[in-house]
C-alpha cells in the first residue's frame, strides 16, 4: 500500500483490494486515531480493469492544465511505502 500525506493531517492511501470477487484500485483518505490509521468514507474504488482508462483520463487532465506533462507526474507526489502491505501499485 502506498500513501502520501495531505494538508490538515491525514493521508491518502492507494491500494489494491478485492470487492465482490473483483480487484479494485482503492484511493481513500485515512485519519490517525489512537496511534493507528483508519479509513474514511472519502474515497473511490475503481475496478482494476478500468485502471488504464483512469490513467488516460488523468493524462488528458494534466496535459490540459499545461503546467505539468504526464511523465513529470510521478515526481509530483511524496509517496511512501507502507511496510505492512506488499502490493505494488503500478504508477
Output the tens digit of pLDDT for each of the chain's 91 residues: 777 777 777 889 988 889 899 999 899 999 989 999 998 989 999 998 998 998 999 888 888 887 655 555 455 544 444 444 444 333 3
pLDDT at 71: 52
Which residues share a beta bridge with 33? Answer: 36
pLDDT at 58: 87
Is 28 in contact with 12 (CB distance < 8 Å)?
Answer: yes
pLDDT at 47: 93
Please report, to the nearest 10 degrees, the dihedral formed by the alpha carbons of residues 75, 81, 85, 90 taken in order.
10
pTM of the model: 0.59
- Whose CA is closest to 24, among 2, 45, 53? 45
Residue 21: φ, ψ to 5°: 80, 0
* Superfamily, domain 2-75: Transcriptional Coactivator Pc4; Chain A (2.30.31.10)
- Whose CA is closest to 26, among 54, 45, 47, 50? 45
pLDDT at 42: 92
Amino acid at each position: 500500500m502506498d500513501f502520501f500525506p495531505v494538508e490538515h493531517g491525514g493521508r491518502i492511501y492507494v491500494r489494491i483490494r478485492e470487492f465482490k470477487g473483483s480487484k479494485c484500485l482503492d484511493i481513500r483518505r485515512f485519519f490517525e486515531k489512537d496511534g493507528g490509521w483508519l479509513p474514511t468514507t472519502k474515497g473511490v474504488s475503481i475496478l482494476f480493469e478500468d485502471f488504464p482508462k483512469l490513467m488516460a483520463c488523468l493524462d488528458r487532465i494534466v496535459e490540459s492544465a499545461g503546467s505539468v506533462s504526464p511523465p513529470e507526474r510521478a515526481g509530483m507526489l511524496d509517496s511512501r511505502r507502507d511496510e505492512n502491505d506488499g502490493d505494488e501499485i503500478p504508477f
